[in-house]
Structure 1
Amino acid sequence: MDDTPPDQGPPLEEPAAAPASSVTSRRMLMLGAVGTSAVVAIRPAMAQATGSILNCQIPVPGPGDAGKYIASDGSLAPPSLLGPLLGYGPFPPPPRPFTGEEVRKAMYEGANLPGATYKSSQAYLAYIRKLKMGQSGYTCFLSVQNPRT
């Protein structure tokens, strides 16, 4: 047995320095590939966020205040039969939560909320605008205000 290492051929030469333009071009191609994959990854997230705005719900009033009516200024009020009959509030809660899309149309396009008169829609929107962090429907309201389209 021979203890000498096998012949590995001629010693490797240092590669010649590549011209600066080819390094820059190569780097730009790599950055372009990264940028493209980022766009492909972000687009579905935006579409999903837009879809969630359409489907999220805003209860009026929230579950903790069930049974309370909504005054014209958006505050909660005890039930009253006289106000809704005369059309100036307080208004009874709607039969179901509003979707983000319904609220968006009412806020930005002037449409009435489903099943509501003009005055009750304005009262419900005033309540929704007063939502604070931690209240049911707050996150949906934020996404309606800041659509990611």
Structure 2
Amino acid sequence: MTDQSPSDPSVNDDQNSGIVTRRRALMMGAITASAVVSIKPALAQTAGSVLNCEIPVPGNNAVGGFIAADGSVVSADTPGAFPPAGRNFTGEQVRQAMNGRSLPGTSYDQSQAYVNYIRRLQAGQSGFTCYASLQMPR
């Protein structure tokens, strides 16, 4: 009987593959742990930027238009329409308004009209990316 070491080429291949598999598993565990550590701050930063992004009411596509109760952009002489907000609203303000609060500096009806406008935003319009990111689950 001879004394064989793991580095000896005559050692059974099954034994070597077991060592490689364990070694590979340990390396994968280390890689996964570092990936989790680096992804968590990125997700936190994304969540923060979603709350700080801005939505103009109305956006650049409808400058000067008034906002009807249903959120459509109408002319200034439309009865019951609200004037442009004159400011942008943050993602956090919009999220709160979608949950029942009023947008800052607006009456309840005006806020509802603005939120309806925001809900109607489509790709390519100012504020759409911010609004879409509010819809993503966290």
Contact 2:57–2:86 (Cα < 8 Å) also in 1? no
Identical aligned residues as a percent: 52
Aligned partner (choices 81, 101, 119) of residue 92 of structure 2: 101
Equivalent residue for 2:132?
Answer: 142
Could you tell me which residue of structure 2 aligns to residue 122 of structure 1? 112
Deviation string for 1:16-57 (max 9, x for gaps)? 243554333222211111111211221121011111112110
How far apart, in 1, do the equivalents of 2:10 and 2:59 lie? 70
Q: Distance in 1 between matches of 2:109 and 2:18?
A: 68
Q: List runs of 5+ in structure 1 lacking aligned partners.
A: 1-11, 84-88
Relative distance call for 1:15 and 1:91 in structure 2 (3 A) is farther
Change (3 A) 1:44 1:75: same
Measure, in 1, the Cα distance between the counterparts of 2:8 and 2:22: 25
Structure 2 alignment gaps of length 5 or more: 1-6
TM-score, normalised relative to structure 1: 0.78
Q: Which is further off, 12-21 or 62-71?
A: 12-21
Aligned length: 130
Please provide the CA RMSD for this pair.
Answer: 2.0
Q: Give the number of the structure whose alpha-carbon radius of gyration is greater.
A: 1
Decide which moves more: 42-51 or 70-79. Answer: 42-51
